[in-house]
Structure formats: structure tokens, C-alpha cells
Amino acid sequence: MPPGADVPPPCEVPHFAPVRVRVGLLRSPRLVRHRRRAVAVGLAVTAAALVAAGPRDTDRSRGHPDRSPSARAASAATGERAALRARRAGALVTAPVRIADAATVRLLRPGDRVDVIAAEETATGGEARVVARGARVSEVPEPVEEGPGEGGALVVLSVPRAVAAGLAGASATARLAVTLC
């Protein structure tokens, strides 16, 4: 038997009428209404995903959103209003805190969020603990002439009243440091 002899002979495709789609079914008001809802839901989900993803600006420093004068003024005004409302409610107080490293304080700007860490030096070594989490920097005063026993730099933080008492106690017995949130 020669190769390819087991292939059946070709046959013709029978003739049939063309398939026609009914236009009226696709234009029914009910389907159009549901299509609009589907598009609206799709747009809402897309908008929520974009908001959740947020902007990804790589040229900004972490903790310092925008340094343009108008952006600083707007964020400072908004932050001051929120702090004023919280202070009126008795939730926040301003606490001046001396940070051991003056160079770190020069990096801070009003509106920044910081964690305050107390590093206690003991005979067995140093222990560190977080005294305040997410404290808002209210003010960074200009450095003044330091006395003989003073080091570091002063920063004013907005914190709850209980945290302010903890900060005052920790500053009496330990060296304080900050980290940007």
C-alpha cells in the first residue's frame, strides 16, 4: 500500500443559508441598561484600585511629601487646623523634647510624623524603647547657644497628654532619638 492511501477522498461542504443576527435583541432597553451598570461598576472598581495604589513619586524623600511653598502652606494650614481641633477637645498637647542628635533634628519639618526612642545606658549595656509613636512635629525652633550640660536640639511635638508625661520622664533618664514614620 502506498503512503497516504488510507486518507478518505475529499468531499464538498453542503450549501446552507447565511446566519443572520437579529439586531433588535441587542438594542433592547433592558440589555442596554444592564450594560451601562456593568460599565459603571467597572469604572468604580478601576477608580478604587487607582486610589489604593496611590502615586509612586520616586524623587520625593520619605516623610517629606512636597517642598514647594504653596504645598507646605496648604499642608501646614490643614495640619494646624486639625491639631487645634484636637487640642480644643483635650486630646493633644505640645511637648518640647530635646533630641540627642542635632543633625537629625535639622532634617525634620513641621507636619512630619516621628517615633521617639529612649536609649538608656546601663552597666550591662544599652536598652532602647519607643516612648511615642507617630508624634506630629509642630515646630523645629532655631538652635540657640547651648549651655555647658546641654547637647542635641529641641523639637516641639503634638502628642496625647499621657504620652507627653512619658516623654518628659524619659528625657530625664535617657537620650532621645527620632525616626521618621
Single-letter residue type at 129: R
Q: How confident is the model at residue 148 (pLDDT cuts 50, 70, 90)?
A: low
**Cα gap 136→14, rounded to integer Å:** 81
Residues 74 and 153 sit within 8 Å (Cβ to Cβ): no
Residue 61 grid cell:
524623600
Distance separating alpha carbons of residues 139 and 76, to the nearest angstrom = 11
Query: What stretch of H or E contains 92?
Result: strand 92-99
What pLDDT, on the 0 to 100 scale, is given for residue 136? 93
pTM for this predicted structure: 0.48
- Residue 31 or 163, more confident: 163
